[in-house]
């Protein structure tokens, strides 16, 4: 959990915004974009990491060019709203490499889960195993992704902070 031990100024926000756009940017290039010399820029990045505002860096891989796969967005409803069933489900999800994202929601279903599998047969096997682990106390609605029309590229920090 990020520590809110220090205030962020506009330069901190610009650093965060630039790192969202390109996490591989050199410190020199980053410092030029945000209007600092390299040493203070690097110190700020380190501080942002230390207080938990930068949780890591990752590369976006073009899976279409790399391999065959299927992406499925599944809405999951837990039938019995017993805390232990939610815990069992969340523990099971955490161990599945095919699950790349899981969000707990309010509304008509409890979770939105993104699966990336080798094929639909693998997805079926993973969800069957999940049903067994949860004792059949969940309902899954599967939605096969046909195309990604906009990829996540970070959030509009300026708008969120000052909107």
Parent domain of 38 = 10-59
- Beta-bridge mates of residue 115: 72, 99
pLDDT of residue 136: 86
**Residue 87 is assigned to a structural domain of this protein:** yes
Q: How far apart are alpha carbons 29 and 9 in whole angstroms?
A: 20
CB neighbours of residue 36 within 10 Å? 18
Total domains present in the chain: 2
Residue 80 counted as domain residue: yes
The mean pLDDT values, 10 residues at a time, for the chain of 163 residues are 67 95 95 97 96 91 94 95 91 96 96 98 97 92 95 87 77
Two structure tokens written together for 98: 């095919």
pLDDT of residue 153: 85
The per-residue pLDDT for 3 is 52
CATH number, domain of 28, equals 1.10.10.10
Give yes or no: residues 139 and 78 share one domain. Answer: yes
């Amino acid at each position: 959990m990020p520590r809110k031990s220090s205030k962020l100024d506009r330069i901190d926000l610009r650093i965060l915004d630039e790192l969202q756009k390109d996490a591989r940017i050199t410190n020199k290039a980053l410092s030029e974009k945000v209007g600092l010399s390299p040493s203070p820029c690097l110190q700020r990045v380190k501080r942002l990491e230390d207080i938990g505002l930068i949780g890591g860096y990752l590369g976006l891989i073009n899976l279409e060019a790399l391999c065959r796969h299927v992406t499925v967005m599944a809405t999951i409803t837990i039938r019995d709203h017993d805390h232990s069933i939610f815990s069992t489900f969340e523990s099971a999800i955490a161990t599945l490499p095919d699950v790349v994202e899981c969000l707990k929601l309010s509304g008509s279903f409890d979770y939105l889960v993104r699966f990336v599998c080798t094929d639909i047969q693998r997805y079926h096997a993973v969800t069957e195993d999940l049903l067994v682990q949860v004792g059949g106390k969940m309902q899954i609605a599967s939605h096969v992704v046909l195309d990604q029309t906009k990829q996540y590229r970070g959030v509009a920090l300026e708008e969120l902070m000052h909107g």
